[in-house]
Amino acid sequence: MDVNTAIANILKEEGVEYLVGFPSNPLFDTGAAEDVGIRTIITRQERTAAHMADAIGRLTSGDQIVGFACQHGPGTENSIGGVAQAYGESAPMVAIPAGYDRAKTDVDPKFNSLLNYQHVSKSCEQLTDPDAVGETMRRAFSAARNGRPRPAVVEVPKDVFWEDVPSGLDYAPTSSSRSGPDPEAVREVAGVLLDAERPVIYAGQGVHYAKGWDALLELAESLEAPVATSLNGKSAFPETHPLSLGAGSKSEPGQLAHFLREADVIFGIGCSFTQTAYGITVPDGKTIVHSTLDATDIDKDVESEYALVGDARLTLEALVDAVDDRIDGERGRFDEVAAEIESVKEEWLDEWNPKLTSEETPINPYRVIRELTEVVDAEDAIITADAGNPRDFLAPFWEATEPLSYIGWGKTTQLGYGLGLALGAKLLHPDKLCINIMGDGAIGMTGLDFETAVREDLPILTIHLNNYEMASYDTPFGGDFADVGAALGGYGERVEEPDEIAPALERAIQRTEEGTPSLLEFITAKETELSRPDLE
């Protein structure tokens, strides 16, 4: 058995269902992955494939690890952006880039993944000894599955793929484990939360990975405390719930900013509290309780008075028990808190209603978002939006109701990320309506991978907000992308009138249900105003 065959068998043993990427890589070229029953998917560029792997890792709460493979040299150079995005967003995958032959691996100007991927991966190794293939791959999968999920990289020099594994392959798949918080600290934090006059819970992506949605809901209702999420954590708490404040991002709902300003205690669970333009700004003078799986997050950007380190679900369940031990029935403030949320929310929506219902042409993009929320059943959809205005238009107004129905992100914000995320979502959930929203910059970066949706039978809905400009940067662009979508084998339609938004959405959704990827191009105004109540 050569190394190539051994790696394919290891992927199968680890439960890998998909290998995505771009050739040339022996795992694709020889059919080794397909021979063991792994579906291989070739994208038009490496970065989109990495984004697909990223989506599946996140949408399965880390239960499914996707393999990513690419060519040595230019393939690894092109791929580093996708792996870096997954690293920034804490998404697991195992990347197996080919490398130059061992004799040339360190010779200038050869690109060496072992050296260059170390800062964007959780673990990074070069497999140089065929007899070490099992232990090397095991370390990679263990890194991806345990602790904070992030990419693991194993570079395989071209000549190593073809060498025999001297001792054969005897491989046992890896497992994952969870650790809980200090019980004494849990009791202390429970007291802090119960003593708070105006607590706010801020839930991050760690709640998704821990599958802690039910425990989060139970804690919020026991404390009768409002819940906000990060953009990565959006959908961890149902946004139609009376205690929901929505998600923090570069744009955010009015009620979220209001309650953060008025809070005395902010409890961050499953979040990093990383300072970013695409998350909440933690106000000064608040008591901060920080619960995270990764201890290096504690006091990294935001100073906390109390900390809990451990799996988010184990932490939330422990807090529920500790809180319930100290209270007897309802606390009596649920209705008051819910009414305050609703009042502030209505005032904020009234402010934005002229844009959400605008009859102007070119179409106001907020009108597209409003129509989308009315046409699409959020319970049956998975949605994401690209960097810049598409994300900022969507995030405050789309109410996610089901866990893992919104793929949020925003630390490194690569343009073109959303298309790969939608492809990965559709691969995983063929019964769902999977939507990505792109602007002019994003569709120029990865738009040709719409052809991958056609070729691989992944009928997604791509929405292009086309104002012929990167409006935030006053950079003019051109192109008629509905025609491109049709030319690539999908359904394409251009929409220029507000009254045609909903009918066009319904037509495109019907085509996806029939198995055809759809690209709707809305000709929109150069809207740049964002909902930033925290800056007012």
**How many CA atoms lie less than 13 Å away from 469 in the CB half-sphere?**
12
Q: Closest Cα to residue 409, out of 23, 79, 174, 59?
A: 59
Q: What is the per-residue DSSP string for 43-64?
A: -SSHHHHHHHHHHHHHHTTTSS
How many angstroms separate the most distant Cα atoms in the chain?
72
Per-residue pLDDT of the chain (536 residues; tens, 9 = 90+): 999 999 999 999 999 999 999 999 999 999 999 999 999 999 999 999 999 999 999 999 999 999 999 999 999 999 999 999 999 999 999 999 999 999 999 999 999 999 999 999 999 999 999 999 999 999 999 999 999 999 999 999 999 999 999 988 999 999 999 999 999 999 999 999 999 999 999 999 999 999 999 999 999 999 999 999 999 999 999 999 999 999 999 999 999 999 999 999 999 999 999 998 889 999 999 999 999 999 999 999 999 999 999 999 999 999 999 999 999 888 889 999 999 999 999 999 999 999 999 999 999 999 999 999 999 999 999 999 999 999 999 999 999 999 999 999 877 778 999 999 999 999 999 999 999 999 999 999 999 999 999 999 999 999 999 999 876 677 889 889 999 999 999 999 999 999 999 999 999 999 999 999 999 999 999 999 999 887 66
Res 473: pLDDT: 75
Beta bridge partners, 41, equal 20
Q: What is the per-residue DSSP string for 324-339?
A: HTT--S--S-HHHHHH
- Region of 147 (left: φ > 0; alpha: ψ -120 to 50; beta: rest) is left
243: Cβ–Cβ under 8 A, 6 or more apart, which residues? Answer: 220, 221, 224, 225, 226, 227, 237, 334, 337, 338, 341
Res 536: pLDDT: 60
DSSP state of 525: -
Number of alpha helices (DSSP H) and beta strands (DSSP E) in the chain: 21, 19
Res 471: pLDDT: 67
DSSP 3-state assignment of 295?
Answer: helix
Q: What is the per-residue DSSP string for 481-494?
A: HHHHHHHTTSEEEE
Res 474: pLDDT: 78
- Is it true that the peptide bond before 109 is cis, omega within 30 degrees of 0? yes
Res 99: pLDDT: 98
Beta bridge partners, 151, equal 93
Res 409: pLDDT: 85
202: Cβ–Cβ under 8 A, 6 or more apart, which residues? Answer: 227, 228, 229, 230, 248, 266, 267, 268, 269, 271, 280
Under a CB-based contact definition with an 8 Å cutoff, are residues 415 and 92 in contact? no
State how beta strands 475-476 and 469-470 pair.
antiparallel
Q: How far apart are CA 382 and CA 56, in angstroms?
A: 12
